[in-house]
């Protein structure tokens, strides 16, 4: 059955604008729509009424790219678990519901417009060591020739599934980026290819994380719960161990 919804959506015209919640009504919403399709329909309605459409981030709409964000009814990526906003469907809501839609909020994620936030702080952290330096001149060692335990390979893969969407920061009461940085440090710390630059990587990435103004982790565990890829808190503990190993 199609639904009629009340929407309270954050509108903000640029980083320096104060911004406010604006009320919208949307009728005949199919429960089979994705959340972003619902916003597409709302934008068509706004454009037809001569208004400015709501800006929001999206790209692959398959839960892979990490581009979509949104804080829906008080939760990053909405009320479902293990999904991004683009994988959230309107069947999770009921006819007559009021839905609050806000951008991911953190000082390090300034609003660009409406629901779009600047998450390039994550890119700058990655630039400080979220990679391995490999000589690709043609005589690169075959990765399969390096023995790696199944357990380490699995844990590294799990860490590498982080799509850098920023839900961890958005949901953390301290706006901490430690789950993201922990995952990026861990995916290399667990593998032989990551050992050569391990100390510099963790030192530099943590320094950049601090410089970007993210808060400090207090182990509430909210990030792990809201992470669309289920990145474990273990990665934060591993980052802490790597950090001390690099500095002692």
Partner 1 sequence: MSGVLSSSIGRKVAMAASAFFLMFFLLQHFVINLTSIFSADAFNELSHFMGTNPAVQFALQPVLIFGVVFHFVMGFVLELRNKQASVKYVKNNGAANSTWVSRNMIYSGLAILAFIVLHFIDFWFPEINHKYIANLPEDPSRYYGELVHKFHSPVRTGAYVAAFAFLALHLLHGFKSAFQSSGMSAKRAAKLETVSKIYAIGIPVGFIIIALFHHFNQH
Query: Rule CB under 8 A: which residues touch partner 1?
Result: 8, 10, 21, 71, 73-75, 79, 100, 102, 105-108, 171-176, 178, 206-207, 209-210, 213-222, 225-226, 232-234, 236-241, 243-244, 247
| Residue with smaller CB distance to partner 1, 74 or 192 | 74
CB of 45 to partner 1, least distance (A): 22
Residues 6+ apart with CB under 8 A from 199: 245, 246
Residue with tokens 């958005």: 170
Sign of the CA dihedral running 185, 190, 194, 196: positive
CA atoms of 168 and 92, how far apart (whole Å): 22
CB of 167 to partner 1, least distance (A): 10
CA atoms of 198 and 63, how far apart (whole Å): 30
| Residue with smaller CB distance to partner 1, 24 or 100 | 100
User: If residue 236 lies in a helix (H) or strand (E), which one and from where to where?
Assistant: helix 234-247
| Residue with smaller CB distance to partner 1, 193 or 240 | 240
| Residue with smaller CB distance to partner 1, 68 or 223 | 223
Reading phi first (left if > 0) and then psi (alpha if -120 to 50, else beta), residue 219 is in left
For residue 223, give both structure tokens: 């990030």
Q: 159, 209, 166: which is closest to 184 by C-alpha?
A: 159
CB of 172 to partner 1, least distance (A): 8
Residues 6+ apart with CB under 8 A from 66: 84, 163, 164, 165, 166
CB of 4 to partner 1, least distance (A): 20
CB of 221 to partner 1, least distance (A): 6
| Residue with smaller CB distance to partner 1, 10 or 56 | 10
Confirm if 201 and 188 have CB atoms less than 8 A apart: yes
| Residue with smaller CB distance to partner 1, 66 or 103 | 103
SS3 of 68, please? coil
CB of 138 to partner 1, least distance (A): 39
């Amino acid at each position: 059955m199609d639904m009629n919804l009340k929407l309270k959506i954050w509108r903000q015209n640029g980083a320096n604008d104060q911004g406010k919640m604006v009320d919208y009504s949307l009728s005949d919403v199919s429960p089979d729509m994705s959340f972003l399709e619902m916003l597409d329909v709302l934008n068509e309605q706004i454009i037809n009424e001569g208004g400015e459409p709501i800006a929001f981030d999206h790209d692959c709409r398959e839960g892979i790219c990490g581009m979509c964000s949104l804080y829906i009814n008080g939760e990053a990526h909405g009320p479902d678990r293990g999904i991004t906003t683009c994988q959230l469907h309107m069947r999770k809501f009921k006819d007559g519901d009021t839905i609050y839609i806000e951008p991911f909020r953190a000082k390090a994620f300034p609003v660009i417009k409406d629901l779009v936030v600047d998450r390039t702080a994550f890119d700058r952290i990655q630039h400080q060591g979220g990679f391995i330096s490999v000589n690709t001149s043609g005589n690169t060692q075959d990765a399969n020739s390096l023995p790696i335990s199944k357990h380490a390979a699995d844990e590294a893969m799990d860490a590498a599934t982080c799509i850098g969407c920023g839900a961890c920061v958005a949901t953390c009461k301290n706006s901490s980026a430690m789950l993201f940085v922990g995952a990026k440090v861990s995916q290399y710390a667990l593998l032989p290819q990551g050992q050569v630059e391990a100390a510099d990587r963790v030192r530099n990435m943590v320094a950049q994380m601090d410089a970007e103004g993210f808060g400090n982790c207090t182990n509430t565990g909210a990030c792990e719960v809201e992470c669309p890829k289920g990145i474990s808190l273990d990665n934060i503990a591993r980052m802490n161990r790597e950090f001390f190993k690099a500095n002692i």
